[in-house]
Amino acid sequence: MGSTERSELPHAIGKVARRELALHGFTDLQSLSAATRAELLAIHGVGPKALRILEQVLDEQGLAFASVD
């Protein structure tokens, strides 16, 4: 079983984004909520569309990306 198969991230973000996020330790929504949008955008394969999808999923769970203070 590959790392993306164990991920709870939505398939809608795409295979490359799921794989690259998993390689950076982001395999669940809780871990994503500790990262800023800029940190995630810096990861290969993660673009604005993936962030919009992830942001919606996080919001549905009462979570959000970390804010920059």
Q: Which domain holds residue 40?
A: 3-60
What's the CATH code of the domain at 28?
1.10.150
> CA geometry: angle at 50 spanning 24 and 57, to 5°?
95
User: Which residue type does 14 have?
Assistant: G
* pLDDT for 1: 41
Q: What is the DSSP string of 10-41?
A: -GGG-HHHHHHHHHTT--SHHHHTTS-HHHHH
SS3 60: helix
User: Does residue 14 contact residue 50 with C-beta atoms inside 8 Å?
Assistant: yes
Q: In the chain, which residues have pLDDT < 70?
A: 1-7, 69
Whether residue 21 is contained in a domain is answered as: yes
- What is the number of domains present in the chain? 1
